[in-house]
């Protein structure tokens, strides 16, 4: 399963990097153009969208790279057996959490699509963002499950 999620996480990671770079360039361009009294219309909405994509899309690859902050002060004092149990338990909770998030974001996306909700200025459909972040959360759950299985097998 890890071989399946790794390329998907990498693709989302690069999409998140593009969103982050776009957010930076858009903000700089807007600041420069504001000095000429020609601001970019909808910058606030676009930066909000891009920020959500940058954060959401970076989660799966960050988990694969073990780049998140680990609170291992408790696990470091446990023997290997209970430490593994704690790791598997926390991964299972993470999988459940991201499954619930993905499910609810997808449901929200369907509701937003049915209601036709859009952003106030640029009329960007909000359901696209909900579905994109739901996809990222679903992939994060798969990454957590795959890495828990692989790390548990490696330790035994």
Question: Domain spans of the chain?
Answer: 2-155
- Residue 2 confidence (pLDDT) above 60: yes
Average pLDDT over residues 77-81: 75
- For residue range 84-137, list pLDDT tens digits in order: 788 888 889 999 999 999 999 999 999 999 999 999 999 999 999 999 999 999
- Residue 154 confidence (pLDDT) above 70: no
Counting residues of the chain whose pLDDT is more than 70, the rounded percentage is 91
Counting residues of the chain whose pLDDT is more than 90, the rounded percentage is 74
The pLDDT assigned to 17 comes to: 98
The pLDDT assigned to 144 comes to: 93
Burial class (CB in 10 A: 0-12, 13-18, 19+), 144: buried
The pLDDT assigned to 156 comes to: 47
Largest CA-CA distance found in the chain, in angstroms, rounded:
64
Residue listed under structure tokens 């999620």: 5
Higher pLDDT, 106 or 66: 106
Would you state the torsion angle of the CA atoms of residues 62, 110, 128, 143, taken in this order, to the nearest 10 degrees?
10
Q: Are 148 and 91 in contact (CB under 8 A)?
A: yes
d(CA 75, CA 33): 52
Give pTM, 2 decimals: 0.87
Residue listed under structure tokens 């989660």: 59
Positive or negative torsion for Cα 118, 121, 122, 128: negative
The pLDDT assigned to 153 comes to: 54
């Amino acid at each position: 399963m890890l071989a399946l999620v790794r390329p998907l996480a990498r693709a989302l990671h690069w999409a998140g990097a593009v969103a982050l770079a776009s957010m930076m360039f858009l903000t700089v361009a807007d600041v420069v153009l504001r000095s000429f009294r020609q601001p970019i219309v909808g910058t606030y909405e676009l930066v909000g969208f891009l920020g959500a994509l940058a954060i959401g899309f970076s989660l799966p690859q960050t988990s694969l790279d073990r780049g998140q902050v680990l609170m291992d002060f408790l696990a470091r004092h446990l023997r290997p057996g209970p430490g593994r149990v704690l790791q598997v338990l926390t991964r299972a909770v993470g999988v459940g959490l991201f499954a619930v998030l993905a499910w609810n974001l997808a449901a929200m996306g369907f509701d937003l699509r049915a209601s036709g909700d859009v952003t106030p200025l640029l009329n960007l459909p909000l359901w696209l963002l909900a579905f994109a972040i739901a996809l990222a959360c679903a992939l994060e759950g798969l990454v957590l499950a795959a890495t828990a299985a692989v790390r548990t097998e490696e330790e035994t």
